[in-house]
């Protein structure tokens, strides 16, 4: 996790970009094509907001009954990252 503080503008930001790069490299997805939404709008799982935390939460709720659709969603989240 990276913490950056811009004193002149009084802005503090928090980033996990290095961690994301490491995870993408681990799963051989570092060179994957980026996408705009972390979850497919045609997905059959119910969702209302295309947010990364929401998409990850949905996959985790169904992790015990993991199917190909769930793996596809995880890969989609990686592409989004």
Q: Please give the pLDDT value at position 49.
A: 55
Q: What is the pTM of this model?
A: 0.46
Which residues of the chain fall short of a pLDDT of 50? Answer: none
- Give the SS3 label for residue 6: strand
Structure tokens given for 67: 């199917």
Query: What is the predicted pLDDT for the residue at 22?
Result: 92
What is the pLDDT, as a whole number, of residue 62? Answer: 75
Q: How many other CB atoms are found less than 10 A from the CB of residue 48? A: 6
With tokens 């015990």, the residue in question is 64
Q: Which helix (H) or strand (E) holds 58?
A: helix 52-61
């Amino acid at each position: 996790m990276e913490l950056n503080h811009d004193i002149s503008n009084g802005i503090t930001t928090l980033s996990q970009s290095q961690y994301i790069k490491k995870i993408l490299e681990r799963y051989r997805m570092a060179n994957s094509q980026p996408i705009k939404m972390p979850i497919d709008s045609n997905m059959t799982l119910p969702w209302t907001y295309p947010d990364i935390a929401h998409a990850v939460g949905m996959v985790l709720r169904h992790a015990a009954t993991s199917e190909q659709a769930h793996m596809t969603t995880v890969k989609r989240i990686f592409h989004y990252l």
